[in-house]
Chain A
Amino acid sequence: MTPIKLYPPKPDKVYFFGTCLIDMFYPQAGLDGIRLLEREGIEVLFPDDQTCCGQPAYTSGYHDEARAVAEAQLDLFPEPWPIIVPSGSCGGMMRTHYPQLFAGSSRSSQAEEVAGRIFELTEFLVHVCHVRLEDKGQPQRVAMHTSCSARREMGLAETGPGLLSQLTNVTLVEQVRASECCGFGGTFAVRHPEVSAAMVEDKTQAIESAGAEHFVTSDCGCLMNIGGRFERKRQDGQEGQVGGEHIASYLWRRTS
């Protein structure tokens, strides 16, 4: 359990940090996240110079390179607005590891300050915006995969399912071992491909046997991994594979 976090009142403006995976592979999820925030009457600032939080290098041990990239992000958020990140792992990187990465350096207080303003998207929608969602979609059985970073590093196991449960036509299905990792882990998936493959195979089976027609996740790493496995099985002619998307897109799609 993470310490209880005190949430601020809903601000007029926020920064949006889109993450590199969304920028490159899932931009729609980023845009949908922005639109969800704008619908709450919040002006969303998207610093044009943002690139990547630095996590891939950080978890691979290349901390000098990670620090350089992280440092370039630190200056992008000069005003005291919250910084919204549509990913638990990038959010965790910025909230937890930025202070560690810059400890003892001239940037340390800035890193602490920025870290204190980081919110994961679903966290912000639930705890700061107190959103109320009106479901306009058809009945559907949905599985939610909360990323390990959102769940454990940021302590956000409940926010994604909480938002989905507001959708009256959506049935949230229960998977076995829901809290188990899907096997992505960034470079883990390429360094230990077979172990990672065994993990994602189990995850897709768990989602499927829960009777899900669709899955959503709040992290594009997991989406790429689980979705890629489902798609691959479909290509290989296996029946009953499930499609997935980022929770921001799902929420936007069903409520707009």
Chain B
Amino acid sequence: MNVQTFTPQAFHRQAHDALGNPQIRSNFRRAMDGLMAKRRDAFGDWDIETLRDLGANIRLRALAKLPDLLEQLEANCQANGIRVHWAEDGEQACRIIRELCEARGARHVIKGKSMVSEEMHLNDHLEAAGIEALESDLGEYLVQLNEQTPSHIIMPAIHLNTEEISDVMHDRTGTERTIDVDYLTAAARAQLRERFMAADVGISGVNFAVAETGTLCLVENEGNGRMTTTVPPVHIAVTGIEKVVEHLRDVPPLYALLTRSATGQHVTTYFNMISGPRKPGERDGPEEVHLVLVDNGRSSIYQDNELLDTLRCIRCGACMNHCPVYTRVGGHTYGTTYPGPIGSILMPHLMGLEATKDLPSASSLCGACGEVCPVKIPIPDLLVRLRKEAVGEGRGNVEGAGVKRDRKEVLAWKGWQWLATHPGAWRAGAGVAGKFRFLSPSRLGPWTDYRTAPKPAATSLHAMVKQHRRKLEREDEK
């Protein structure tokens, strides 16, 4: 098994490798083409723009009232019997969860899909404490068997095709080698079923936490989320603080947007609303329910009136499905928990710009992400804002701001500025080509590896227009 580690620092090398890997290329291309088509069909004759406006407004309203809503959520959860814990960062969240497990003497934890738990490397933390954490979402399960990390936030194993999945399951669990998807799914289901029964604690994520009712909503397709949150005696839900919404009535529009944007589904197979532990006289459900609310950098994003928009995200994955860069390099290339456009605007806050400096620039700003985002996050604008931070011309409030400021590049832009603000010099041009010299031959290198170099015209438009005017005047005189 080749266990690869990916880091955002090695984006360029990882991109190079992925681009040269025909399997990766075709797995992603095919999967993303399918997801784009499904999304398009799912919105069909819906008035998608109105729905996106509504989604954006619901999220904006929730964020505007975030501190109050979190207090309300805590109070209402507690009234429902859900114990609420606050974690400033991932480490603290891991500790809280580990202690909850230890208090129950837990050895086996079963997990529903949770990107926040990936973000804080919860599994590693639990394992170090001798607690086994098993992923129960099929994609997550495969990724875990393969000792990898998710390559997509909705479809963690999207980088694997059926043959590769068959190989992984054969090597790790002894199933037959086959491309019969039903057989493989049934085998995984049987393997997992036993583990649900044996688990001491179930850990899940949260899609929407409803402040007014203290309800935790969980969207899923496999039923593993329902098992995780009902079978073990303890359920711990873990989520970022931005997942709160104000009202129960805010959920249906967001749910409609989420499922259509993510997988092109009108509804998912399961939609769980968790509002407390088992009550006296009830026959199933966990004895304890906990909610761990994780900040991990979110409140500092919240302080900035532009970057704040990052927190609207409902983690549908549509931005990556539609991203021409993600489609070509795949999720692992980014080397971050969240890949693709959302990752490139979120990870710099979680890891600092020094580690992630190549991510905001890894976009042609084509705008496909912003066009499909169900809550209308202006992703391209945020990418530009982070580029500005990286070169030290922003507000300086993102960790690692200025890390990309390079004296030579600054000089080049200053030179460009001088020329473009001195029209006489611009026209005289020192040879038209001179104007783009700041791209220096070495910078043009990669361009000409794949394309011919642009040829400076013999006459500039300025000069052509002058000739044209003279010609028109002569014609007038005649």
Chain A interfacial positions (CB closer than 8 Å to B): 1, 18, 20, 22-28, 30-31, 34-35, 46, 48-52, 54, 56-65, 68-69, 72, 100, 148-149, 151-153, 179-181, 183-201, 224-225, 228-229, 231-232, 235
Contact = CB atoms under 8 A, between A and B. Distances in A.
A17 to B, nearest CB: 10
B447 A149 contact: no
A61 B388 CA distance: 4
Contacts of B433: 24
Interface of B is mostly: helix
A1 B51 CA distance: 13
B387 interface: yes
B101 to A, nearest CB: 42
Given A61-B384, A183-B364, A195-B15, A30 B420 contact: no
A24 B436 CA distance: 9
Interface in B427-451: 427, 432-433, 435-436, 439, 443-444, 446-447, 449-451
Closest 7 CB pairs of A and B: A185-B364, A193-B446, A228-B451, A61-B387, A181-B366, A152-B367, A49-B423
A195 B362 contact: yes
Give the contact-size bracket for chain B: 35 or more
Contacts of A189: 364, 446-447
Nearest to A223: B454
A159 to B, nearest CB: 17
A153 B367 contact: yes
B436 A62 contact: no
A145 to B, nearest CB: 12
20 contacts: A18-B465, A24-B433, A27-B460, A30-B465, A31-B461, A59-B365, A61-B389, A61-B390, A69-B417, A72-B420, A148-B365, A151-B367, A152-B371, A188-B365, A189-B446, A190-B444, A190-B446, A191-B361, A201-B450, A229-B450
B468 A31 contact: yes
A198 B464 contact: no
B271 interface: no
Contacts of B368: 148, 152, 179-181
A188 B443 CA distance: 12
Nearest to B29: A202
B324 A199 contact: yes
A57 B413 contact: yes
Interface of B: 12, 15-16, 19, 49, 324-325, 328-329, 361-368, 370-371, 381, 384, 386-391, 393-394, 404, 410, 413-414, 416-417, 419-421, 423, 426-427, 432-433, 435-436, 439, 443-444, 446-447, 449-457, 459-465, 468
A27 B464 CA distance: 7
Contact of B324 (A50, A72, A183, A197): A183
A186 B452 CA distance: 16
A223 B307 CA distance: 34
A49 B465 CA distance: 13
Contacts, number: 196
A153 B371 CA distance: 9
A50 B424 CA distance: 10
Contacts of B455: 25
B351 to A, nearest CB: 19
Interface of A is mostly: helix
Given A24-B432, A27-B457, A62 B391 contact: yes
A90 B433 CA distance: 20
Nearest to A35: B468
Given A25-B455, A181-B368, A51 B387 contact: no
Given A52-B420, A231-B452, 4 more contacts: A49-B423, A201-B450, A229-B450, A235-B452
Nearest to B453: A228
Contacts of B417: 57, 65, 68-69
A183 B450 CA distance: 12
Given A65-B417, A152-B367, A51 B460 contact: no
A194 B423 contact: no
Nearest to A72: B421
A173 B363 CA distance: 28
A195 B444 CA distance: 15
B421 A68 contact: yes
Nearest to B469: A46
Contact of A60 (B363, B387, B389): B387
Contacts of A26: 457
B414 A231 contact: no
Contacts of B446: 189-190, 193-194, 197
A188 B360 CA distance: 10
A193 B413 contact: no
A232 B386 CA distance: 34
A65 B414 contact: yes
Nearest to B425: A51
B464 A192 contact: no
Nearest to B383: A59
Given A24-B436, A24-B457, A27-B464, A60 B413 contact: yes
